[in-house]
Amino acid sequence: MTSTVQFRTILWGAILTLLLVCSFLFIKPTLAIDFGLGIIINLKFVVALVGLLVIALYHIFDRPNAETTKLSLTTALTIIWLSLIIFFPFKDPNNQEYSGAVAFFTLIGGLAVSVFWVRFFADEII
């Protein structure tokens, strides 16, 4: 049985993921939303939650077939993982507290990305 992979879904998933990455890069961490009553939420956090929600809802409601959805989510994970490797300041002296943990989970995420791509290349789905 041959399944047809729709590249439109993969492309739009990648575009939405790139917009999420750009929101992390271009929104200043000092911006916040004040809801009153002492409730202040970081704007970057809100945009990240909305971006993840949009990506999740896109993959839930645009379902051409299961393999296309899996490939699109693997592409999104790869883009997020690569942006973490490229843009996270691991050597920042002001960020020594979290650099080790982020580096560890980046390595584990790289293992997950590798396993997902091996699955697609080994099963000749693409």
Domain-located, residue 1:
no
Tell me how far apart the alpha carbons of residues 63 and 37 are, in angstroms, rounded to a whole number: 41
**Number of Cβ atoms within 10 Å of the Cβ of 36:** 6
pLDDT band for position 1 (cuts 50, 70, 90): very low
Domain-located, residue 65:
yes
Q: What backbone torsions phi and psi does residue 35 show, to the nearest 5 degrees?
A: -90, -5
Domain-located, residue 96:
yes
Mean predicted confidence (pLDDT) in 88-101 = 76
- Domain count of the fold of the chain: 1
Mean predicted confidence (pLDDT) in 11-28 = 91
Mean predicted confidence (pLDDT) in 82-91 = 83
- Radius of gyration (Cα) for the chain, nearest Å? 17
Percent of the chain with pLDDT over 70: 94
Domain-located, residue 2:
no
Per residue in 21-31, pLDDT tens?
Answer: 998 889 888 89
Q: Helix H segments across 4-95?
A: 7-26, 43-61, 66-87
At 79 the pLDDT is: 92
- Asked if pLDDT for residue 94 goes beyond 80, the answer is no
Range of the domain at 84: 7-122
Q: Say which residue, 36 or 96, is predicted with more confidence.
A: 36
Mean predicted confidence (pLDDT) in 3-16 = 85
At 2 the pLDDT is: 55
Domain-located, residue 35:
yes
Beta bridge partners of 41: 33
